[in-house]
């Protein structure tokens, strides 16, 4: 048996390619949309991808299942038929390769058996897959492909449907379902590997470990959520799992719908088309046209093209997914075509397909002065004077709610940077003082707010430098 975990660090997402080396058949579980990566790995191992499976309808990336099916209609699609009619992959139902799965169903890829176990909680349709290498003589599973159900050090959050998609009243029901699902798998052998769909950095949980995999026995001993589900009351588990969850990026709200009805088929990744300043300057005031500036924070704060969003390399997917709307056309400001191609890959993975091309960062040197703008910045030492001198100002803290609860500027209002776009109507049209923990999120939020007509002062400083006199 061949098994490879394929990582996307930008989204902390894991896909899996599993192959039967005796027959050459292979399956990809939870693929992302840029399917060329999986094909290259399969080819290098002498395997042919003949099937795709998904643990659930994803909310944090565009699934690659439809892309595979469009490229090869003979591919089998193993998708959950649990959870009710609102939780089915509608796009797949008319396809010849569609195989709806119910709790306990099994199928084979060559001599490798996968058994689907319905584990609702994160979502109503969620399944895990137990993998048994029958061709190798095994009669017990070697691994559980756990999707967003069980992570290293955590369990899948049950509140996303309510917090991201606005489905009121679903988070407690999901938490109670998750409790039962965790108890359902309690008899798994301790040697079974736990192969999750996400690691540290994902918004699909609150305490995901950095280790890419684990075993069920280890998680049973040391995973707080699993331990609580197996040893404590349902109410205690519900209180624990719903507290302290991070605020999801705005694009999560549309991903469930996109993946349920079916994303557009790309065929291939868009190419990084070189653009000139002359093509871009006339469009700077268009609401549907956005420049994603990937330069350093210092360079961005020194001046940027009017209306640009700050999208640093290490937070590109996070910031783009929080501040962009799917219908907007984007231009990537970056060093060269190779860098632009990587950012294009990141954009299409989260459903932003309208990419005009890229503009070399060096081009800004030739931009006319009237096209370059910047907003005021301050350090925390200056914030006290700003608070006194601007009586009508509004202090906006764009950290997570858990960070804000620890300490914050006096009379500050907390809107996590990932939630600014859907919450924009709640922010008054007065001068804003925007802060975060290091200045990074404050810069991204300030750029977004300035683009939307707000007057902002960005606190480009570390929160640890804030004088105690201004905190509460």
Exposure string (b/e) for 101-125, b if CB count within 10 Å is 16 or more? beeebebbbbbbbbbbbbbbbbbbb
Tell me whether the CATH fold assigned to 277-373 matches the one assigned to 377-470. Answer: yes
Helix/strand/coil (H, E, C) string of 47-97?
A: CEEEEEECCCCCCCCCECHHHHHHHCCCCEEEEECCCCHHHCCHHHCCCCC
pLDDT at residue 389, rounded to an integer: 63
| CATH classification code of 377-470 | 3.40.250.10
Q: What is the pLDDT of residue 385?
A: 86
Instruction: Provide the residue-wise pLDDT of the chain in tens; the chain has 472 residues.
Output: 999 999 999 999 999 999 999 999 999 999 999 999 999 999 999 999 999 999 999 999 999 999 999 999 999 999 999 999 999 999 999 999 999 999 999 999 999 999 999 999 999 999 999 999 999 999 999 999 999 999 999 999 999 989 888 788 899 999 999 999 999 999 999 999 999 999 999 989 999 999 999 999 999 999 999 999 999 999 999 999 999 999 999 999 889 999 999 999 999 999 999 999 999 999 999 999 999 999 999 999 999 999 999 999 999 999 999 999 999 999 999 999 999 999 999 999 999 999 999 999 999 999 999 999 999 999 999 998 888 766 678 999 999 999 999 999 999 999 999 999 999 999 999 999 999 999 999 999 999 999 999 999 999 999 999 999 999 9
pLDDT at 384: 85
Domain limits, the chain: 2-261, 277-373, 377-470
Rounded to an integer, what distance in angstroms lies between the CA atom of residue 25 and that of residue 262? 26
pLDDT score for 387: 83
Residue among 230, 204, 235 nearest 217 (CA): 230
* Residues contacting residue 190 through CB under 8 Å, at least 6 positions apart: 215, 216, 217, 218, 220
Homologous superfamily (CATH) of 277-373 is Rhodanese-like domain (3.40.250.10)
d(CA 261, CA 135): 37
49-83 pLDDT, tens digit each: 999 999 999 999 999 999 999 999 999 999 999 99
Give pLDDT tens digits for 194-246: 999 999 999 899 999 999 999 999 999 999 999 999 999 999 999 999 999 99
Distance CA 338, CA 231 (A): 51
Q: How many residues does this entry show for the chain? A: 472
In angstroms, rounded to a whole number, what is the distance separating the alpha carbons of residues 366 and 188? 63
> How many Å apart are CA 49 and CA 39, to the nearest integer?
7
- The CATH fold of domain 2-261: Metallo-beta-lactamase; Chain A (3.60.15)
Decide: helix, strand or coil at residue 441.
Answer: helix
Which residues are paired to 425 by β-bridges? Answer: none
């Amino acid at each position: 048996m061949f098994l490879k975990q394929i990582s996307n660090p930008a989204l902390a997402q894991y896909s899996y390619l599993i192959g039967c080396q005796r027959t050459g058949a292979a399956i990809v579980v939870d693929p992302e949309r840029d399917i060329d990566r999986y094909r290259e790995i399969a080819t290098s191992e002498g395997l042919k991808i003949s099937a795709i499976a998904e643990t659930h309808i994803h909310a944090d990336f565009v699934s690659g299942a439809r892309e595979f099916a469009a490229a090869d209609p003979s591919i089998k699609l193993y998708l959950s038929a649990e959870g009710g009619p609102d939780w089915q992959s509608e796009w797949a139902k008319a396809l010849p390769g569609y195989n709806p799965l119910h709790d306990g169903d099994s199928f084979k890829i060559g001599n490798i058996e996968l058994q689907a176990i319905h584990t609702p909680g994160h979502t109503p349709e969620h399944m895990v897959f137990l993998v048994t290498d029958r061709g190798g003589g095994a009669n017990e599973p070697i691994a559980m492909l756990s999707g967003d159900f069980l992570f290293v050090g955590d369990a899948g959050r049950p509140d996303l449907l309510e917090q991201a998609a606005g489905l009121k009243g679903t988070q407690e029901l999901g938490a109670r379902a998750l409790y039962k699902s965790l108890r359902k798998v309690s008899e798994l052998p301790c040697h079974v590997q736990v192969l999750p769909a996400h690691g540290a950095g994902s918004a699909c949980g609150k305490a995901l470990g950095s280790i890419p995999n684990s075993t069920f026995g280890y998680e049973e001993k040391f995973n707080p959520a699993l331990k609580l589900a197996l040893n404590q009351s349902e109410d205690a588990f519900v209180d624990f799992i719903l507290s302290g969850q991070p605020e999801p990026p705005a694009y999560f709200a549309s991903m469930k719908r996109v993946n349920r009805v079916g994303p557009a088929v790309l065929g291939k990744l868009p190419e990084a088309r070189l653009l000139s300043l002359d093509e871009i300057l006339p469009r700077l005031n268009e609401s549907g046209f956005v420049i994603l500036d990937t330069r350093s924070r210092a360079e961005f704060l020194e001046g940027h093209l009017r209306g640009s969003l700050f999208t640093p390399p290490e937070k590109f997917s996070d910031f783009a997914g929080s501040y962009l709307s799917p219908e907007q056309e984007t231009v990537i400001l970056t060093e060269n075509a190779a860098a632009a191609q990587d950012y294009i890959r990141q954009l299409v993975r989260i459903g932003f397909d309208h990419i005009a091309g890229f503009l070399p960062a060096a081009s800004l040197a030739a931009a006319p002065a009237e096209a370059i703008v910047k907003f005021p910045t301050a350090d925390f030492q200056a914030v006290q004077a700003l608070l006194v001198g601007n009586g009508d100002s509004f202090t906006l803290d764009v950290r997570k709610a858990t960070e804000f609860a620890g300490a914050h500027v006096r009379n500050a209002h907390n809107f996590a940077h990932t939630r600014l776009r859907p919450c924009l109507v709640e922010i008054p049209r007065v001068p804003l003082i925007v802060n975060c923990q290091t200045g990074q999120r404050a810069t991204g939020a300030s750029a977004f707010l300035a683009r939307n007509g707000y007057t902002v002062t960005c606190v480009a400083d570390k929160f640890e430098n804030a004088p105690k006199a201004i905190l509460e």
